[in-house]
Amino acid sequence: MKVKRIVANVETADPAAVAKFYGDVLGLDLLMDHGWIVTYGTGGTMPLQVSFASEGGSGTPVPGLSVEVDDVEAAYQAALKGGYAIEYGPADEPWGVRRFFVRDPAGTLVNILMHA
């Protein structure tokens, strides 16, 4: 048996509002839309990872999702432009990432990062 994909499912009363966040801020493509569930991502292969944490690092809470991007400043500016609540950062962390935390419309704390 081999795991082929892990998908985070975030509960929300308004899937369209949350989907807009991931499309506008992170530039993800709409992969599936059944109205009650929308899935955003990329058409290519993404690494499979799942993390378990007691804290988010640097004294932060554990984020519900971590999303690696190639330009954290562009994502940060898109989040600000969209009026989304920035909860931490941007910060250069001692383990070699630059990141910020933002709340999506469902209230999920999202860690958006890039490796320095």
Q: What's the pLDDT tens digit per position in 9-38?
A: 888 888 888 888 999 999 998 888 888 888
The tens digit of pLDDT for each residue in 97-113 reads 999 999 999 999 999 99
pLDDT digits (tens, 9 = 90+) for 40-91: 888 777 776 778 898 999 999 999 999 999 999 999 999 999 999 999 999 9
Task: Report, at the CATH architecture level, how domain 15-42+59-115 is classified.
Answer: Roll (3.10)
State pTM to two decimals: 0.86
Alpha helices by DSSP H, 9-114:
15-24, 72-81
Extents of the domains making up the chain: 15-42+59-115
Distance in angstroms (rounded) separating the CA atoms of residues 93 and 30: 31
C-alpha pair distances (Å), 58 with each of 10, 52, 102, 114:
25, 16, 16, 16
